[in-house]
Structure 1
Amino acid sequence: MAVNIIGITFLCGTLVQGFIALNNPTSYTPERWHGTLLTFAIALFATFINTYAASQLPSLEGLILILHIFGFFATMIPLWVMAERVDAKTVFTEFSNISEWPSTGLAVLVGQIAPIFSFLGPDGATHIAEEIKDASKIVPWCMVATALINGTLGFVILITYLFTMGDLDTVLHPPSGFSFISAFNNALGSAKGATALASLILVLEICSAISILATCSRQAFAFARDNALPFSSFFANVNPKSKIPVNAVMFTTTVTLLLSLINIGSTEAFNAIASLTVGSLYLSYILSIGAFIARRLRPEPLPRARFSLGKFGLPINIFAFFYLCFAIVFTFFPGQRHVTLQNMNWSVLVWGVVVVFAIVQYMVHGRKVYEGPVAYVQKAQ
């Protein structure tokens, strides 16, 4: 849970560092501890919103959606109007295997990790379903709408970026650390203008951190309520005034802050933990969809649902299951063929340790006390 928050808060922190480096190329040297402190600041701000300002979170989410759409046009229009363009042949027919994999096809498969990361978390709405009116209908539609809207906007952004990013070598080694900031800088010819545009993305990323903390803390709360965490009664406590699981929020934030400290000592170790997000979420999707497929293939009728894909449901589930099983393999590949201690993707090691620990913990202790959501619902009824 905390791993999901680390990724987004650290991204926000390093974005700020990128802004400083862009505007002060000769006087600022980014340090690891700078990024860690900025990560702390973003995480604590998200915690404040999720506790003391939690009552305003629904209204804030509406504003975030408006900013999301506005930010798309605000960042794309300058590129459409002002940036130099490459020809369509270069965009659609030229491939660069800069990671030196044996084939371009393999390079593409390894490179899909980035777009996979962009589409992670569609399950986020399910973790706050208990706080949503008419959740059985609203939550599935929100998940579908999220994929359709962001998939469409993301494709437009991708094509725009490919046409306007400029020299590939320059983009791959940007002074700010972020190639999209360099694209803005090249288009506008102004570091301050590029910073202003990129700041919109920073604001949206901070908003994402707020939402991710809300969903992850609800996961911690739900696990504690089902006796799946140590000190479950403490973490399952709900503040009687705000109706927020404050202890679960604080627990999630604390783990995030502690893990963020690893970056000061070793960037490689920190990246190994942060990159655990993709593999761990994909495993959870595989288990969930796989169980659902097995249930649908049985002759017994399914419980009545207010949202259904009808006859397309099972084929979509099967396709998703096999794609996830295929893609999860490449989430553990290193980014480059020639591997060193620095560029190795250590997430496979961390993922394996976490999975083994979870299995052992369940066999030794969890199966004796864990009840699960079905038992909770039956008790509530």
Structure 2
Amino acid sequence: MAETHQDKKTGEVVGPSGPNVETLHAVESFEVGTLEESSGDAIDDAMLRAQGYKAAMPRVFSILSSIGLCFSITNSWVGALSNFGQGLRYGGPQVVIFSLIVATFVQWIITLGQYHFVYILAAPKYKRISAFVTGWMSVLAWWIMTCSGLSLCAISATGLAAFMYPSYEPTSWQIWLVYVGMAIFSVIPLFIFPKFLTKLATGSLYLTIIGFAVWFIVLLAMKKESNPGSLMTESGLGSSGWSSGTAWMLGISNAMYCYGGTDAAIHIAEEMHSPGRQIPQAMNLTMLIGFVTCVPIMVVFMFVMKDMDKIMNAGFPAAELLYEATGNRPVTIFLTVWLILIYISCLPPQFVECGRIGWAFARDNGLPFSNYFAHIDEKLAFPVRTTLASVVFTAIYGLLYLASSTAFNSIITSAVLFLNITLALPQAILVIRGRNTHLPRRYVNLGWVGYFCNIFSPLWIIVLTALVCMPPSIPVEVGTMNYTSPILVGLFAIVIGSWFIYGHQFEGPKIDWEMLNATHELAGEGTSKKDKQ
């Protein structure tokens, strides 16, 4: 049955999006309408109303532009280029390649959704606090992960300058200035070209796919020598001090960074056509493109690598390996500039996500001053205030880099863990409460595979939490200490404190199950009929 309540002013019994009679009439109008009327954005808007919301932004994302936005954020192969040096420390080429393959399927299983799912699935007694905590973890994870993207741009740009001018040594404050400059530069297109967001996302996808092809071909064509195939499976090459089994597990947790943000499609659901169908497609294709780009490029990297120790300790390992393989400075500089441009092109989509997820949480009164932040600019048609709030947050957070780059990177690691916790939490609830009785009708039904994913995900997150908190090498020194454990406790304490301060105002989505199931059924019928034509 749909949730209802009595309006205090009128005494009228209403549902989550207004009088029940209106929502039922809306459904009835779709049932008797034409196929064109019942298979377009009208049904999508009805689904949104069934969750207690009204459409606030235009539906402009096609499946291609959705994939463009999602993959430009995840961008697995450039993510692998940024952290493969740590994989080499854990166990050499064997860990770099095979942990990446394992991480692909682990992340593929885990990827789902966040606080809306928790609110819908959790028991009534716990749904508000569990959804509130999950929502805050999701917001913090996305905002801090964007800091990671900014730091990659800043470190790569200054690292390229150091490569071109060996006498130059970038300082922390110079890196921070580049970091802030990148943040400001990244949001400018969102304000100047708001109607071209989908084209920017698609353009970013083309830039990174072409960039992958160029890097791949150049490395194969210009390599001076190749390592034997036996090096790819040789064990004991790590220098972290950990045993081979522990190093392997740490390598998997390190490789999962390459698949951060795979849930991006969920946060633009209200701007997509047929989101019930396109979101799973976008998420799965993002993972597929990530796999077929990052694994081959890493295999090539390991074959053309010469001096593993030098690459592990380089400020910009990807550029160092490229120069070793080709021996050509102009080519190295050109491809490194291309890589930095890809990093930069990933930033506007990340701020798009930061603004959307902050706005959605504010709409449910999850943020301080929610009435202010739950605002869509009528002219620009996107949440300007939460987008700017995320920019300010990243700039302030970047100041931590001036004090301690180790602490800065530890918090980013915490963000990756936070994001995966938010993905696994609703799945754990499903295992406890049952998939068949607590999931609505939907376009994609995984059946028994869904149970496997729901059981595996929370179990893996328990393991991942332990791995993320372990130091990257032993014996542990002040400079190599992992600050993730106290940071996790601190961030979680802030979230819990926020609940006691203003959590009473948090609402969560109000689901009209009758209308939601009816619109899902109509959407399915519309899709099947369209496929037959």
Q: TM-score band (shorter)?
A: over 0.9
Equivalent position of 2:444 in the other structure: 307
Rounded to whole Å, the distance in 1 between the matches of 2:512 and 2:215 is: 46
- What CA distance in whole angstroms lies between the structure 2 residues aligned with 1:363 and 1:311? 39
Distance 1:249 1:129, change over 3 A: same
Of 29-38 and 337-346, more deviation after overlay is shown by: 337-346
Q: SS of 1:95's equivalent?
A: coil
Contact kept in structure 1, 2:150 and 2:347, CA below 8 Å: yes
Any gaps of 5 or more consecutive residues in structure 1?
A: none
RMSD, aligned CA: 2.1
How far apart, CA to CA, are the structure 1 residues paired with 2:145 and 2:281?
Answer: 23
In terms of Rg, which structure is larger? 2
How far has the Cα of 1:307 moved from its partner? Answer: 1.9
With the length of structure 1 as denominator, give the TM-score of the two structures: 0.93
Residue pair 1:286, 1:325 contacting (<8 A) in 2 also: no
Map of 1:272 onto structure 2: 410
**Within the alignment, does 1:18 sit opposite 2:159 as a pair?**
yes
Cα deviation 1:112-167 (Å, max 9, x = unaligned): 23211111111111111111111111011100111111112111111111111211
Q: Residue 224 of structure 1 aligns with which residue?
A: 362
Alignment of 1:109-188 (within 5 A): 109-174=249-314, 177-188=315-326
Q: CA deviation at 1:349?
A: 1.0
Q: Where does residue 239 of structure 2 map in the other structure?
A: 98
Alignment-mate amino acid for residue 162 of structure 1: M
**Partner amino acid for 1:369?**
Q
Give, in whole Å, the separation in 1 of the partners of 2:346 and 2:428: 29
Shift of 1:273: 2.5
CA distance in 2: counterparts of 1:123 and 1:46, whole angstroms? 21
Identity %: 26
1:199 paired with 2:337, answer yes
Deviations 1:184-218 (A, max 9, x none): 11122122321211222212221222111111111
For these two proteins, the number of residue pairs brought into alignment is 375
1:358 aligned residue (487, 490, 495): 495
Q: Which residue in the other structure is 2:372 paired with?
A: 234
The SS at the match of 2:241 is coil
Tell me how far apart the structure 2 counterparts of residues 234 and 338 of structure 1 sit (CA, whole Å).
49
Give me the whole-angstrom Cα distance separating, in 2, the residues matched to 1:377 and 1:44: 42
2:454 maps to 1:317: yes
Q: Which amino acid aligns with 2:162?
A: A
1:78 equivalenced with 2:215 (yes/no): no
Question: 1:374 is matched with which residue?
Answer: 510
Give ranges in structure 2 of 5+ residues lacking alignment.
Answer: 1-141, 520-533
Match of 1:337 in 2: 474
Cα offset, 1:360, TM superposition: 2.8
Match of 1:260 among 398, 406, 409: 398
Task: State how far apart, in whole Å, the 1-side matches of 2:421 and 2:429 are.
Answer: 12
Greater relative contact order (CA < 8 Å, ≥ 6 in sequence): 2
Instruction: Pick from 482, 486, 501 the counterpart of residue 349 of structure 1.
Output: 486
Residue 377 (structure 1) shift: 10
CA distance in structure 1 between the aligned counterparts of 2:400 and 2:513, rounded to whole angstroms? 39
Q: Distance in 2 between matches of 1:262 and 1:142?
A: 35
Shift of 1:31: 0.4
One-letter amino acid matched to 2:485: V
Task: Give 2:426's aligned residue.
Answer: 288
Q: Secondary structure at the match of 2:462?
A: helix
Structure 1 position 363, deviation (Å): 3.5
How far, CA to CA, are the matches of 2:486 and 2:278 in structure 1? 38
For residues 343 and 44 of structure 1, what CA distance do their matches in structure 2 show? 32
Partner in structure 1 of residue 386 of structure 2: 248
